[in-house]
Structure 1
Amino acid sequence: MTVAQVPPARLTVIAGPTAVGKGTVVTELRRRHPDLFVSVSATTRPPRPGERDGVHYHFVSDAEFDHLVASGQMLEWALVHGTHRYGTPRRPVQERLDAGEPAVLEIDLDGARQVRAAMPQARLVFIAPPSWEELVARLIGRGTEAPAERARRLDTARVELAAADEFDHIIVNDSVARATDQLEEVLGLSR
C-alpha cells in the first residue's frame, strides 16, 4: 500500500533506535508545522545540556513517575536502556484526540507496542538509520553518553532495529530534510 492510499491517522507514533535522529526529524516537522501537537514525554533521566523542562521532556523524580503510573496518568511507559523511565502523559494526548486533532508521539519500541495494543488505530512509523555504522557514528558523535551507556544503548538499538517490521511505515533517516518530507507524506501534511 502506498503512502498516498493511506488516510491520515489521528494518532501517529514515531519510534526508532537511539541516535537515529528521531528528535531532529520531529523538530524539523514542528518547524514546518508549528501547530502540530507533539506530546512531551516524561522521563526520570536528568536533562542534557540545553534541554528545558516542559519543552523537551517533563523531568520528574522516580517517586513522581511512580505516582503517574499508579494513578493511570501514563498512556505508555518503559524502562529504556535499563536505566531511566520514559512515558507519555495520557491527558494532553487524549484531549487533542477528543478535539478531533492529530497527535504525534515520539517514543521507544516498548511504548509503541503499548500504544498499538491500547489504540490499534494508531499509525506507527519507524525511523531507521542508513546503516549500523552510521548509527554508531551518530551516537559517538553526540558525545552525551559515557562508554558504558553507549554500549547499553547500542544493545537496545539492535533489538529495536530487529522490530522495524512491526511498524506501518519505515523511513530511513539518511537526510533530515528527506526523512521529514516522507514523514509529512505519511501524516498527510502539505507544505
Structure 2
Amino acid sequence: MSKGLENTADLYSGKLFLLVGPSGSGKGTVMEEFKRKYKGFVYPVSYTTRAPREGEKNGDVYFFIGKEEFEVMIEEGKFLEYAVVHGEHYYGTVKEEFLAPLRVGAAVMREVDIQGFVSIRDLVPKENLVSIFIKVGGGDEELVARILRRGEMSDEELKKRLESAKKEIAMADDCDYQVENLWGQAMDCVAEVEKIVLDEIEKLG
C-alpha cells in the first residue's frame, strides 16, 4: 500500500538503492557493511509494529511503535509506503526520510521486502531507483535454516514465512540486479553489491 506524493513535480538528483529479499536472505548484513563503510550515504529508519528481536535497538534499523500509532501515521499520510507483513505486523517508510535526501543528490540505501519494493517502485522515478535482489544460495533447506536462525517460531509461523519467501523469490526478476548470498560467503555478496552501487553512482556524473 502506498500514499501518493504531494508534489509530483519534485526533481530528484540522487539515487535510491533498495536491497530486496526474503527474511534470512542476508540483506541486513549487506546493509550493515555499507553503514560501516559508507558514512556519507543516507540510511532511512523504517517503522514497524512488531516487537524488537534480541539485540535490536529502537531507532537503529527500525522504530518500534504500537499499531494504533502506526495507523494514525497512515491517516496523516506520512508513509511513502507501508504493508502488512506475514499477515500480522505493519512495516512502513516515512516519505521525507527518503525523498528529502534524493532532492539534494544523496545516495540513499534501504532494505525492504518485495511489498515495499513494489510500492516504492511505483512512486520514485526509475532513473533514481536501483533495486538489488539478494538471493539465498543453497535452495529451500538453506532458506529454512536461515529463517530458523532468526529465532524460535512455531511450525505454522515457519510455514507462513517460507511461503512468503517463495513468493518474493518468484519476483526477483522484477529487480534491476540479482546477487547470490551463499552461506559463509557474505562478504563476497557485499563486494558484488558494492560494485553495483559504485558503478551506478558513477553514472550520476
Q: TM-score, normalised by structure 1?
A: 0.89
Q: 1:9 to 1:176 in 2, by over 3 A?
A: farther
Say which SS state the counterpart of residue 38 (structure 1) adopts: coil
Aligned to 1:12: 17
Specify which of 139, 147, 155 is matched with residue 155 of structure 2.
147
Aligned to 1:126: 133
Residue 188 (structure 1) aligned with residue 198 (structure 2) = yes
Looking at structure 2, the residues matched to 70 and 106 of structure 1 have their Cα atoms a distance apart, in angstroms, of 24
Aligned to 1:60: 65
Looking at structure 2, the residues matched to 75 and 13 of structure 1 have their Cα atoms a distance apart, in angstroms, of 14
Say which SS state the counterpart of residue 103 (structure 1) adopts: strand
Does the 8 Å CA contact 1:39/1:106 hold for their aligned counterparts? no
Identify the range of structure 1 (101-110 vs 137-146) with the bigger mean alpha-carbon deviation: 137-146
Identify the range of structure 1 (28-37 vs 76-85) with the bigger mean alpha-carbon deviation: 28-37
Residue 85 (structure 1) aligned with residue 90 (structure 2) = yes
Q: How many residues align?
A: 183
Aligned to 2:189: 179
Does the 8 Å CA contact 2:83/2:91 hold for their aligned counterparts? yes
Query: Alpha-carbon deviation of 1:49?
Result: 1.2
Specify which of 112, 117, 122 is matched with residue 117 of structure 2.
112
RMSD value, Cα: 1.8
Residue 76 (structure 1) aligned with residue 81 (structure 2) = yes
Query: Alpha-carbon deviation of 1:61?
Result: 0.9
Q: Unmatched 5+ residue regions in structure 2? A: 1-12
Aligned to 1:43: 48
Does the 8 Å CA contact 1:42/1:57 hold for their aligned counterparts? yes
Q: 1:79 to 1:66 in 2, by over 3 A?
A: same
Does the 8 Å CA contact 1:42/1:87 hold for their aligned counterparts? yes
Q: Unmatched 5+ residue regions in structure 1? A: 1-7
Does the 8 Å CA contact 2:14/2:103 hold for their aligned counterparts? no
Say which SS state the counterpart of residue 91 (structure 2) adopts: strand
Match of 2:49, as an amino acid? Answer: T
Looking at structure 2, the residues matched to 66 and 32 of structure 1 have their Cα atoms a distance apart, in angstroms, of 35
Query: Alpha-carbon deviation of 1:142?
Result: 2.8
Specify which of 150, 159, 171 is matched with residue 163 of structure 1.
171
Say which SS state the counterpart of residue 188 (structure 2) adopts: helix
Does the 8 Å CA contact 1:48/1:144 hold for their aligned counterparts? no
Match of 1:85, as an amino acid? Answer: Y
Query: Alpha-carbon deviation of 1:24?
Result: 1.2
Q: TM-score, normalised by structure 2?
A: 0.84
Match of 2:20, as an amino acid? Answer: A
Does the 8 Å CA contact 2:14/2:101 hold for their aligned counterparts? no
Residues 63-104 of structure 1 show CA distances to partners (whole Å, capped at 9, x for unaligned) of 111122121211111111111011111111122112210111
- Identical columns (%): 34
Say which SS state the counterpart of residue 22 (structure 2) adopts: coil
**Which segments of structure 1 move beyond 6 Å, counting only runs of 4 or more?**
none
Specify which of 133, 137, 142 is matched with residue 145 of structure 2.
137
